Amino acid sequence: MDDSKKGLVNGFLDMFGLGGSWITKKSIYNQFYSDLVTKVQHNMDVPNTKIHVFYATKMGKKYEKRYHTYFKNPDIHRFNMQHEELFCCYANKWIEEVRNVVNGDVGL
């Protein structure tokens, strides 16, 4: 496993406080895979609701396409990261980005 992948896996483990316990590479794969196979309504649009997506561009363009398929007008915030890397490895930055969205400071 290269250093960037190792950092991401360790970020997940640290997030759960499990440094090396029952979470495995396979269980993380299963979580990501379930995101791909879960059936979701297309073109969702809830009145007075804005969908904000923190999109990890290293996941690939197919994921961004999915967001546009499932949500009518998603507000996509792009990060040059892997899936959940912002949340798991850069918690303070994730908190800052969520706070910016909540406060309306969308000039991310």
* pLDDT tens digits along 68-108: 999 999 999 999 998 888 988 888 999 999 999 999 865 54
- For 67, residues 6+ apart whose C-beta sits below 8 A from its C-beta are 53, 55, 74, 76
**Residue 108 or residue 45, greater confidence:** 45
Q: What is the mean pLDDT of residues 40-61?
A: 92
- For 36, residues 6+ apart whose C-beta sits below 8 A from its C-beta are none
The pLDDT tens digits of the residues spanning 10-38 come to 776 776 665 555 667 787 778 777 877 88
